[in-house]
Copies of this chain bind each other. A is one copy, B any other.
Amino acid sequence: MEDLRSIVEALIFASEAPLSLDKIVDIIGMTDREAIVDILKALEEEYANRNGGFHLSEVAGGYQFRTRADMASWLRKLKGIKPPGLSQAALETLAVVAYRQPVTRQEIEKVRGVDVSGALRGLLEKKLLRMLGRKNVPGKPIIYGTTKRFLEVFNLKDLAELPTLREFQELQE
């Protein structure tokens, strides 16, 4: 099925966010998921072998074309940007939410030992975190969790891909 491969490729290429297998199957209107899975695998392999400027990665529960990591310095030149990066405060706040979610502001502050409202707000604006609702305890504090965008930005298939906290504890011993 030569053309099915092209359709899958075009869909992933045109999608703004990583495109999930479910969506691909849904759009193509095919029940044969296995055929699509095979195509995705073949495409991933093809781009990896070709080793061009970009390849196909599996990220945030979907597929997306991304430039090769060792091209970064050229692309920064193209975009005329300094790597935006996140502050240490933002990264620490993000780490606590990623591992402890759903989590309240108070719980994050207990771990970090500082006020985190500024960091939280920044992460909400960047859509790396979101408000999930409220915790059913006195005061009903708002609870926070990570977003799909978080997975996309940090190049994660899913949250389970993060190393466990235990691994970091062992590092310290």
Q: Which residues of A contact B (CB under 8 A)?
A: 2, 5-16, 19, 23, 26-28, 51-54, 65, 67-68, 71, 74-75, 77-79, 81-82, 105, 117-118, 120-121, 124, 131-134, 140, 142, 155-157, 161, 163, 167, 170-173
Pick from B71, B77, B161, B170: contact of A134, CB below 8 A: B161
Are A133 and B121 interface neighbours, CB within 8 A? no
Pick from B14, B26, B81: contact of A79, CB below 8 A: B14
Are B170 and A117 interface neighbours, CB within 8 A? yes
Copies per complex of this chain: 2
Are A52 and B5 interface neighbours, CB within 8 A? yes
A26/B81 contact (C-beta < 8 A), A67-B13, A121-B172 known: yes
Q: Which residues of chain B come closer than 8 Å to A13, judged between CB atoms?
A: 53-54, 65, 67
| A155, closest chain B residue (CB) | B133
A10/B71 contact (C-beta < 8 A), A117-B173, A121-B172, A132-B155 known: yes
A75 to chain B, nearest CB (A): 5
- 29 CB < 8 A contacts A-B: A5-B53, A6-B51, A6-B52, A6-B68, A8-B53, A9-B52, A10-B52, A10-B53, A10-B68, A10-B74, A10-B75, A11-B53, A11-B74, A14-B54, A14-B71, A14-B75, A14-B78, A23-B81, A27-B78, A27-B81, A28-B74, A117-B170, A118-B171, A118-B173, A121-B172, A121-B173, A132-B155, A133-B157, A142-B163
Bound form: Cα–Cα A117–B142 in Å = 33
Q: Which residues of chain B come closer than 8 Å to A53, judged between CB atoms?
A: 5-13
Bound form: Cα–Cα A26–B74 in Å = 11
